[in-house]
Structure 1
Amino acid sequence: MVRALLAGAKTQTRRALRSPEDAARNRFGRPGDLLWVRETFFAYGRWETRFNLRKQHAEWFFTDMTQAAGHAWRYAADEGPGADAHARREARVAPAWHKRPALFMPRAASRILLEIVEVRVERLQEISVADALAEGLPPGAERDPVLAYRGIWEGINGAGSWDENPLVWVLAFVKRPLASMSIPNI
């Protein structure tokens, strides 16, 4: 989906409501709000351990040295160099390029900024052909976009999740140039 965002092919996303009361508490934002996108990335740094007093044991943590070393983050969605072959979670080794999950992406590493243009709630199966295409479907899905989107939905949310026909948040957005401001993430 990152490639579809970068190409401008993905202009909508759907997220299941956690409960019927969730419809009154939109946690994704309103039209005009900006969202930064996290994605799997590569950071230059090293693993170290620290003792956690509360848990009473040592824990691993990653020290991101990318900017301090004069490098730029790399992205898993791009072709090109990724993690170093010798990169491993071992204390006191030289810094290297490590693959990092999207969850740990710092705001400064994000390269995709989205502006929300519409927010609505609907049943999942109410998705139109145009909306399914706006979800950034892979090439070849044009024959039956809704069926293709169903496959993506169930791949993320589990078998049978389409048939449950949950209420979903629908966020429509446009890609914006990056800006240095404090904004939430999705």
Structure 2
Amino acid sequence: MKERPILFNTQMVKAILEGRKTQTRRIINPQPTFKENTGFHWKGYMYGIGSDYAETMHNFTNRNCPFGRVGDQLWVRETFAIVPETAYRHSEVNKLNHPNDQELSIIYKQGFHLSKSGFSWKPSIHMPRWASRILLEITNVRVERLTDISVKDALSEGIEHKSMNCPRHEFFQLWNSVYGDMAHEQNNWVWVVEFKQV
């Protein structure tokens, strides 16, 4: 079993903590090409020569996914801040004591509803392992085109389905808010990583 970091924005951290998000899609970089009866071509390598679609998908996924394999774990990096330990000692703010300094605590932007003073939020990319409060176990990894997402999978991406729109449409709106206007129309190959909270 290996352990790797993974970034999530505040909205998706909320969805994970509420149990609504059990999947994430990440763009494969660089993009592979797929040719029937020959398989995926990627980074100068060919996987699945003479294979069908399902076989080359299996071979490609098992050899290349940067997030790991089934059973591996992902620790979540999210937006956080380091504050004096006394600042929120008697509040309901979700916090974690600093392991190297008892006078400091870590707080998380997701779920923080108080007015802040005297500190600034640190980007998730800078979160150290010890500050992470969410650990995920990979339960499945596969490759697919972005627009092949099903309604069920769109909901598993953490969509808060409150409008009359189809969950797939709402997922594409979320995708475009991260990757740029109409980015879903590029229909990239993506890693689909399914997980559960540990």
* Aligned residue pair count: 146
Q: Which has the higher contact order (CA 8 A, sep 6+)?
A: 1
Amino acid at match of 1:174: K
Task: State how far apart, in whole Å, the 2-side matches of 1:142 and 1:32 are.
Answer: 37
Partner of 1:164: 186
Higher deviation after alignment, 68-77 or 107-116: 68-77
1:61 alignment partner in structure 2: none
Q: Is the 8 A contact 2:161 2:167 kept in 1?
A: no
Shift of 1:18: 1.1
Runs of 5+ unmatched residues, structure 2: 1-11, 33-41, 44-59, 85-96
Separation (CA, whole Å) in 2 of partners of 1:124 and 1:35:
22
- In structure 2, do the counterparts of structure 1 residues 114 and 164 end up closer, same or farther at CA, with 3 Å as the change threshold? same
TM-score normalized by structure 1?
0.72
Query: Quick one: structure 1 residues 132 and 120, their matched pair in 2 at CA, closer, same or farther if it must change by over 3 Å?
Result: same
Give identity over the alignment, percent. 40
Q: Does 1:36 align with 2:69?
A: no
Q: 4+ residue runs of structure 1 moved beyond 4 angstroms? A: 80-83
- Which of 103, 106, 121 is 1:73 aligned to? 106
In structure 2, relative to structure 1, the CA distance for the partners of 1:140 and 1:107 (3 Å cut) is same
Report whether the alignment pairs 1:121 with 2:111. no
| CA distance 1:134–1:155, shift in 2 (3 Å) | same
What is the TM-score with the length of structure 2 in the denominator?
Answer: 0.68
- CA-CA distance at 1:169 after TM superposition: 0.3
The CA deviation string for residues 128-154 of structure 1, in whole angstroms up to 9 with x for no partner, is: 000000000124157510000000011
Alpha-carbon RMSD across the aligned residues, in angstroms, is 2.1
Q: Structure 1 unaligned segments of length 5 or more: list them.
A: 46-64, 88-96, 177-186
